[in-house]
Amino acid sequence: MSDKSIDWNLLRKVRNHTADARERAAFEAWLRADSRHRAYYERLREAETRREDRPLRVDETFAELRKSLVSRPAVSRSSFPIRYAAVAAVILLCVAGVVWQQFSNDHETERVCDLLAREYLPASDRAMLIVNDTCYNLGRGENLSLDVAGGRIENDGSERLKYSADAGTRAVQNRLVIPRGGFYSVCLEDGTVVTLNAESELIYPSVFDAHSREVELRGEAFFEVAHDADRPFYVRVSGYRIQVLGTRFNVSAYEDESLHHTTLVEGSVRILDESSQTVCRELLLRPGEQFSHDLATSRSMVTRVDTRRYTAWMEGEFVFDNTPLGDVLRTVSRWYDFRYEITDPALEKYTFSGQISMKGTSDYLFRVLHEAYIPVTLRFEEGILYLDKR
């Protein structure tokens, strides 16, 4: 842990008394490394138990200032020039201004956090299905039973569509669109299950042909592909295709992010890199490996990763590991469906490590950031959350 990267998962374990001996030793070493660390930890404990005491801290600050003034040796009026009195008054006003500004920032941040908790709730199961130029709104409790070319689409009110095929029929294209603040899954006619994260879209046929199975993804999805040796499964994203016979993997390919990832959990997949006009490279991934493709440079690489960081959203958790603040906010804002703007680019260099429940309220992250070393204050104006540097 450092002044720009705090392991919130470790701090949470310490506060919940669930840290093991190794984690406790790491925490103690962090406390000893810098006096600011211990001061921050004490501030965190105080914030957890006495959030309402922020106005009191202003009074305490003035009380300490008053105490330091009256404890000084008495000085005769004749030996205290007017210019020194003026300087002392200016210093006192500056100190008071700084303290009041900090109190105002804390108060505004608290107000914005309360608003976020009320207005921006966790994502829910909702989506739009577009088939034959007709749009169907999907959500919990909304049933769907639809006959289409190639088969039948059903939804019993749960968070999953299910397709069944009619042999020998012509397929029709389907688009499953997940809005910000939503998630949904679909069981394709071959038994493959695709779970889509917020702000994602899947294009697929109602029934696959006899030789291959292919879908197109924008956004993020977790695939559990049904094995079929005679019909390889392809996922097309911008710049490359993923070929698989049967496996579990996560694909993140948002259009507002230049770096796309394919993370393999189980089985094996083949990456068909189509970013070049002259050559198509093939890469084979093994479990625990990730293929990263940079759209801006057309460069790609394969690395070993902790797959849980990239699949934890399936278990209802955000997991960040030295993740830049800008990336953290982009991920969280999709889930809670709020708009934001970082007013000072210097804030984006700060990183965040920790685990946050996706079922919690949207204010938790910002309370953590405010109480950490990250110098950020919040404003909410005309439906936009502004992050200012304090």
Structure confidence by residue, pLDDT tens digits, 157-200: 667 889 887 765 678 899 999 999 999 999 999 999 999 999 99
Q: pLDDT higher for 365 or 96?
A: 365
- Give me the residues paired with residue 271 across strands: 242, 283
Rounded CA separation 287/307 (Å): 9
Q: What pLDDT score was predicted for residue 37?
A: 76
Rounded CA separation 133/83 (Å): 80
pTM of the entire structure?
0.73
Structural contact between residues 129 and 174, judged by C-beta atoms closer than 8 angstroms: yes
- One-letter amino acid at 1 equals M
Task: Delineate the domains of the chain, giving CATH numbers in brackets.
Answer: 320-389 (3.55.50.30)
Name, in order, each residue with C-beta under 8 angstroms of 317's C-beta and a sequence gap of 6 or more.
355, 356, 357, 358
Q: What pLDDT score was predicted for residue 299?
A: 87
- At 289-304, the pLDDT tens digits run 999 999 888 888 999 9
CA dihedral 271, 289, 267, 250 (to 10 degrees): -80
Structural contact between residues 354 and 325, judged by C-beta atoms closer than 8 angstroms: no
- Show the tokens assigned to 79: 């030996």
Q: What pLDDT score was predicted for residue 169?
A: 66
Q: pLDDT higher for 73 or 349?
A: 349
Rounded CA separation 343/119 (Å): 22
